[in-house]
């Protein structure tokens, strides 16, 4: 049995951060029922270009595999009644709306405990439910600027730069999933549910990690470093080869000594300027003036072979196609192919969550409202008459499509 096979989550979510969090739960076997507003044509992620057709996109596919979709208008009394029937039969309600919206839409534990005393209500928002920014809209790029990430990224003297992937959104999803699982564990242990209040801003701040500790404790002033270098460990950065770039990470003294041997420069190991971490940090410019020209004398492949034989941590700086074709990807089956009636074979990165035992076979993302009838009849116990009443009330929008 999958680890979360006995967990049902109602997800009021859209776009990236929220769906990424519930995707982790779905990949671990949870039944994730995605509620989409029929009036807005569902999750906006369905319409993100490029590679978008009709009510689906490869963006949406990436964030919503292994989920079910129902159409439900939560603002109508009839829609609210259906929603509460779902909550009564579920373990958690998960949303990624602005911080002021869970209260307005009555998605908090106090609003729903009458349906289910053990329900966990997890909110992932830009700034959390309190504070002066609680009602402000938020996106990953904004958080990278606000939390100081952009000031740390890029070359010295250059403009602020964001990370390549939307790491605040993705990290926020992971944090929300962890919070929700912690809430579920406590609810099953103690018999009482709770609220989880997770924010992208605080996630981004937390991921400043030791740099934030240095700043908060010692008034440290972070500065950008050339070649994506570590702020204090040298050498730990990109180096340009004759035909590309490699990353070398001498995070331990033994790796530095091995690097000196691999470079055929044993005298560097005994040079008083470079004997330990503090010395190499203090004399960074002198050391790099020696190292940089050496790496330009041979190819990336040749250097990786030499450094690998010497036991020096190193890797190529790939482009994305290069990363997806790495031998480790093939060996681990880290890219999976899903059949899709519109896009054909959709290839995407598999879940990194690998537990021994049964693994969930990846299934395509749901069509808009695809599982409305199935969920209401199987989860809520509606018969044909109750289903027709829900349809007639307008709670489900137009008549839901039949299950595939």
As annotated, the active-site residues are 169
Burial 95-112 (b: 16+ CB within 10 A, else e): bbbbbebbeebebbbebb
Q: Give 153's contacts (C-beta < 8 A, 6+ positions apart).
A: 144, 160, 161, 162, 163, 224
Q: What's the half-sphere exposure (Cβ side, CA atoms, 13 Å) at 138?
A: 31
Largest CA distance in the chain: 85
Structure tokens of 323?
């990363």
Give the CA-trace dihedral at 8, 9, 10, 14, to 10 degrees.
Answer: -140
Q: Which residue has the tokens 């949406």?
A: 60
- Look at residues 103, 11, 23 and name the one whose alpha carbon lies nearest to residue 63: 23
CA distance linking residue 287 with residue 280, whole number of Å: 7
Compute the radius of gyration of the chain from its Cα atoms. 25
Residues 373/403, Cβ–Cβ less than 8 Å: yes
């Amino acid at each position: 049995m999958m680890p979360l096979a006995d967990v049902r989550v109602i997800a009021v979510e859209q776009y990236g951060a929220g769906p990424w969090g519930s995707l982790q739960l779905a990949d671990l076997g949870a039944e994730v029922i995605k509620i989409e507003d029929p009036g807005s044509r569902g999750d906006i992620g369905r319409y993100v270009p490029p590679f978008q057709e009709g009510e689906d996109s490869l963006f949406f596919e990436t964030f919503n595999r292994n989920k079910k979709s129902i159409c439900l208008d939560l603002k109508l009394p009839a829609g609210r009644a259906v929603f509460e029937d779902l909550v009564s039969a579920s373990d958690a309600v998960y949303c990624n709306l602005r911080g002021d919206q869970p209260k307005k839409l009555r998605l908090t534990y106090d609003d729903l405990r009458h349906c289910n005393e053990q329900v966990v209500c997890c909110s992932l928002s830009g700034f959390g439910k309190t504070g002066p920014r609680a009602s402000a809209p938020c996106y990953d790029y904004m958080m990278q600027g606000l939390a100081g990430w952009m000031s740390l990224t890029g070359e010295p003297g250059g403009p602020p730069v964001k990370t390549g992937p939307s790491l605040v959104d993705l990290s926020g999803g992971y944090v929300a999933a962890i919070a929700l699982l912690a809430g579920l564990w406590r609810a099953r242990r103690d018999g009482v549910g709770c609220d989880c209040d997770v924010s992208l801003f605080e996630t981004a701040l937390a991921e400043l990690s030791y740099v934030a500790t240095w700043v908060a404790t010692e008034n440290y002033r972070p500065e950008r470093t050339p070649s994506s270098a570590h702020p204090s460990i040298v050498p730990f950065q990109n180096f340009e080869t004759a035909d590309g770039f490699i990353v070398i990470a001498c995070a331990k003294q033994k790796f530095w000594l091995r690097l000196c041997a691999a470079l055929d420069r044993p005298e560097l190991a005994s040079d008083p300027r470079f004997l330990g971490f503090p010395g190499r940090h203090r004399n960074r410019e002198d050391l790099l003036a020696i190292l940089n020209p050496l790496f330009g004398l041979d190819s990336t492949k040749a250097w990786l072979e030499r450094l690998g034989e010497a036991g020096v941590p190193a890797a190529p700086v790939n482009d994305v196609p290069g990363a997806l074709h790495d031998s480790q990807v093939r060996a681990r089956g880290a890219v999976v192919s899903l059949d899709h009636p519109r896009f054909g074979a959709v290839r995407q990165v598999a879940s990194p969550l690998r537990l021994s035992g049964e693994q969930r076979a990846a299934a395509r993302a749901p069509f808009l409202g695809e599982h409305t009838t199935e969920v209401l009849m199987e989860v809520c116990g509606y018969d044909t008459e109750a289903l027709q009443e829900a349809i007639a009330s307008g709670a489900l929008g137009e008549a839901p499509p039949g299950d595939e």
